Chain A
Amino acid sequence: MAIRSSLWLEYQIEANWTSPVIFILYNTLKPVGGSLLLLAMYYVVTGGFLGGEGLYFLYIGNAFYMLVAQTLFSVGWIIHDDREHYQTMKYLYISPLSYFTYLMGRSAMRFLLSLLPLSVLIGLGILLKIPYRIEILLLIGTFFLGWIFVISAGLLLSGVNMLTARHGNSIGQAFSGIFYLFSGVVFPIHVLPGWASTAALGLPSTYWFSLVRRSVLGKEVDSIMSGFTTGDVAVRLIIISVLFFVISYLTFRLADYLARKKGIIDMSTTY
C-alpha cells in the first residue's frame, strides 16, 4: 500500500503540473537534447552522422544513461524537496509508512517514467541507422538489474542529502556524473587512465552498460568489456549490485539516525 501511494505521489509531482502531452514532450526534450549534443560532437570530428562503432557506442550508452541520470536527478531532490520545499518530511516520519519504502516507490516511478524518453531515443536511432539486434529476454533482465543499481545509488544519495544543506538543485545529476565518466557510457573504458579503468571494473554501472550494449546491439565493442562473456557480466553485475545495495542501505540508515539525532530532519537552508 505504501509503495503504491509513493508511486502515485511521484507521478503526481512529476506530471500533474501540465497536460499529458506537454509532460511527454517535457520528459523527452531533455534526453533528446543530451543525445543531440553528443551527435554534434561526433559530427564536428568525423564530418558525418552515420556509421561507425563509435557512434553506436555513444548513442546507445547515452540513451540508457538517461534512465540513470533522470532517476537520480529526481531522487537526489526528494530529501530537500520534502524537508525544505514542502516541509513534509517530519510528517512523513510520523506517518505509518517507512521513509525507505516511500523512497523506493518514488524512485521506481521515476525509473518507469524515464522509459518513455528512452523508447523515443531508441526510435530516433533508426534514423541514424543504428544496427539494432535486440535480445528481449536479456533486455528485460538488464532493465531489472539496472533498476536495482539505480535505486541503490539513489539511496546512497538520499543518505548524504539527509545530512547536507541545499546549495543547488542538480545534486542527483552531478552524482550521476560518476557513472557517466567511469562506466564506459559514451566511450570505451580503455580510453580512461589505467587506475580509472581498474576502478571502473568495480562499479555495477560498467557491467550494466555492457549488458545494455549486448542486449540492444547484440555485441560489445569495448575492448576491455568484450573480454567477459555475457554470463560473466551478468553474474558480476548481480554480485556488485547486491554489495552496492547493502552499502547504500546501511549508509542511508546511518544518515537517517544521525539526522534525527542532530535534529535536522526539518532543517531549512535558504542560501
Chain B
Amino acid sequence: MNVMLNLRALKGRAYPRMIGAVREPSWMFWDTFLPILSMAAYIYVYRSLDAPKEFEGFVVLGGVMTTYWMNVLWGMASQLYWEKETANLQLYLAAPMSKMSILAGMALGGMFSTSVRCISIILIGIVIFKVEFVVTSVGLLLGIFGVTLVALYGMGMVFASLFLMWGREAWHLNMIMEEPIYFLSGYSFPVKALGSLSAFATVIPFTLGLDAMRQLTFPSMAAQWGLVSPHLELGILLVMSITLLYVARLSLDRMERMGRSKGTLTMRWQ
C-alpha cells in the first residue's frame, strides 16, 4: 500500500470541508448556533420540572455527542450516496488510492467543524447555563471520548457503503436515525432509565461513550444512573471501534464490487 498516496487522498478529501468552513461561514449559524437552541429547550424542560442541576449537564454532554452523530449521519453515512448523485464517486473509484482514505478524509474534515460546534455547546453550558463539570479522570475521559469518535465514525463508514447500495431509501433512513436514536441513546436523560431497552441501545457507540463521560463528569449521579463502569465501557468501545473499521473496509469493497458488476455506480437520482 502506498502510504503517502493515501495520506494525500485523506488530506485532499478533508481539505474542502475545512476550507469550506472558512469560505462559507454561514455554517457557523446553521450548524453551530441554531442546533444549540433545541438543546437549550431541553435544559429549560428540566428547569420547569425542578430537576437536579446535573440533568442540565447531561443535556449539554448529550448535545455534544449528538452533534457528532448528526455529522456521522449527514456528513459520512449519506456522503458517498451524495457523491454518486453529484458525479464525484466515479472519480474516487477511478483514482488509485484506498477508498478508506477518502472516508477518513471526510471524517477528519467533518470532525473539524463538528468540534467547533461542540466547544461552543460546552462553553454555552458552562457560561450561560452554569453547568459544573467535576472531572474525576481527565485521561480516561479523553480516552473514552477519542475511542467513541473512532467507533462512531467507523459506524458512519459502514453506513456510507450500505447507503450507497440503496437509493433514496438511504436518505430517509438517515432521518429516522435522529429522534428515535436520541431516545435510545439517552441524549437528554440517563440511558439507565430505559431499563432492559438500554442493552439494545449500546449497539450505538455514543450510548456507551455518553454514559461513561457522564459518570466521569458528574460523579454524584454515577452510582444512581451509571449503566456499567466507565472502564468496561471503554473496553466495549475499543472492540466496537476495531470491528466497525474492519466491517467498513469489507462493506466498502463489497459495495464497490456490486456497483461495478451491476453498473449502478454512476446511476443518479434513482
Partner-B contacts on A (CB < 8 A): 17-18, 26, 29-34, 36-38, 40-46, 54, 58, 73, 84-86, 164-165, 167-171, 173-175, 177-178, 180-182, 185-188, 191-192, 268-271
Mark B104-128 against chain A: 1 for CB-CB distance below 8 A, else 0.
0000010001000000000000000
* B45/A269 in contact, CB under 8 A: no
* A177/B16 in contact, CB under 8 A: no
* B37/A30 in contact, CB under 8 A: no
Nearest 9 Cβ contacts at the A-B interface: A33-B179, A33-B180, A174-B34, A177-B37, A271-B20, A187-B48, A167-B27, A177-B38, A34-B179
Determine chain B's interface SS by DSSP, over half rule.
helix
Residue of A nearest to B113 (CB): A167
Complex Cα–Cα for A207 and B183 (A): 29
Complex Cα–Cα for A164 and B28 (A): 12
* B20/A165 in contact, CB under 8 A: yes
B47 at the interface (CB under 8 A from A): yes
User: Which of A44, A54, A188, A269 meets B20, CB within 8 Å?
Assistant: A269
B31 at the interface (CB under 8 A from A): yes
Residues from chain A with Cβ under 8 Å of B75 in the complex: 168
Residues from chain A with Cβ under 8 Å of B182 in the complex: 33-34, 37
Residue of B nearest to A36 (CB): B183
Residue of B nearest to A188 (CB): B48
Residues from chain A with Cβ under 8 Å of B71 in the complex: 168
Determine chain A's interface SS by DSSP, over half rule.
helix
Task: Count chain B CB atoms within 10 A of each CB in A40, A173, A188 and give the residue with the most.
Answer: A40
Please report which residues of chain B, range 83-139, place their CB below 8 angstroms from some CB of chain A when the two chains form the complex.
83, 85-86, 88, 109, 113
* A167/B48 in contact, CB under 8 A: no
Complex Cα–Cα for A192 and B74 (A): 31
* 17 A-B contacts (beta carbon < 8 Å): A32-B180, A33-B183, A41-B42, A41-B189, A42-B49, A165-B24, A165-B27, A171-B30, A173-B35, A174-B37, A177-B35, A178-B37, A181-B41, A181-B44, A191-B44, A191-B48, A270-B88
User: Which of B37, B42, B78 meets A169, CB within 8 Å?
Assistant: B78
A-contacting 9-mer, from B155-163, B165-173, B231-239, B242-250: B165-173
* A30/B176 in contact, CB under 8 A: yes
* A164/B30 in contact, CB under 8 A: yes
Residues from chain B with Cβ under 8 Å of A30 in the complex: 175-176, 178-180
* A45/B74 in contact, CB under 8 A: no
B193 at the interface (CB under 8 A from A): yes
* A164/B24 in contact, CB under 8 A: yes
Complex Cα–Cα for A174 and B113 (A): 16
Complex Cα–Cα for A177 and B189 (A): 19
* A37/B27 in contact, CB under 8 A: no
CB distance from A226 to the nearest CB of B (A): 15
